[in-house]
Chain A
């Protein structure tokens, strides 16, 4: 069974703080993704990675960066958190090919005050 875990379920940070969201998968998946989920906007792709140290911008990368130093771990970084980054953040992973299913983590609800 694929397991995708995220470091925190709930996180509260202040404007301007640097925020790290961690995601770990245990199934040796090549691909990993970060989305944000907002009511009325659905899921929007922030960044994704096809391999270690590889990253690609998604649809809304502004204000975010990512790091993938190890295959199983994909980190999302908010360099200077702002209130409009208050959201639910979902991590996902998939095996390799373009036909493979994406498996999602439980999500981190981030509130920026």
Chain B
């Protein structure tokens, strides 16, 4: 079975502070991990995927197979980063398993 855990429902940080959204997964095979984001009144969209190893909007995420984690990080939070963030795992075929989501709130 595949499972994704996001332990924080809400993360509140000040503008300019570092951000780390936690994601842990459980999967017996070789997983593919994603972060999806949903801004207010917008549709859910892909933010980044571990195989791309890219930085999107200043966010990065590294797959740590030893700790089975895929935490999302940004060194300096911006107001426009406020959104709902979902970690997702693709194990079996095209099926994605999502975590319960973390709402990031960036305040002045």
Pick from A33, A42, A94, A103: contact of B100, CB below 8 A.
Answer: A42
In the complex, how many angstroms separate the beta carbon of B96 from the nearest chain A beta carbon? 6
Q: Chain A 4-45, CB within 8 Å of chain B: the 1/0 string?
A: 100000000000000000000000000101010000111111
Q: Does B86 contact A (CB under 8 A)?
A: yes
Q: How many residues of B contact A (CB 8 A)?
A: 20
Bound together, the chains give a CA A45 to CA B96 distance in angstroms of 8
Q: Which of the segments B40-48, B64-72, B74-82 contacts the partner chain?
A: B40-48
Are B94 and A43 in contact, with the CB atoms below 8 A?
Answer: no
Interface residues of A in 60-88 (CB under 8 A from B): none
Known A-B contacts A42-B101, A99-B32, A106-B43; the reply to A94 vs B9 at CB < 8 A is no
Bound together, the chains give a CA A94 to CA B49 distance in angstroms of 15
Are B43 and A104 in contact, with the CB atoms below 8 A?
Answer: yes
Bound together, the chains give a CA A2 to CA B44 distance in angstroms of 13
**Contact residues in B for A42 (Cβ distance below 8 Å):** 6, 86, 98-101
**Contact residues in A for B45 (Cβ distance below 8 Å):** 103-104
Q: Does B90 contact A (CB under 8 A)?
A: yes
Bound together, the chains give a CA A41 to CA B101 distance in angstroms of 8
Question: What are 18 contact pairs spanning A and B, CB under 8 A?
Answer: A4-B43, A33-B96, A35-B98, A42-B98, A42-B99, A42-B100, A42-B101, A43-B44, A43-B101, A50-B93, A59-B97, A94-B94, A97-B94, A98-B32, A98-B94, A100-B94, A102-B94, A105-B43
| Chain B residues at the A interface, C-beta cutoff of 8 Å | 6, 9, 32, 43-46, 49, 51, 86, 90, 93-101
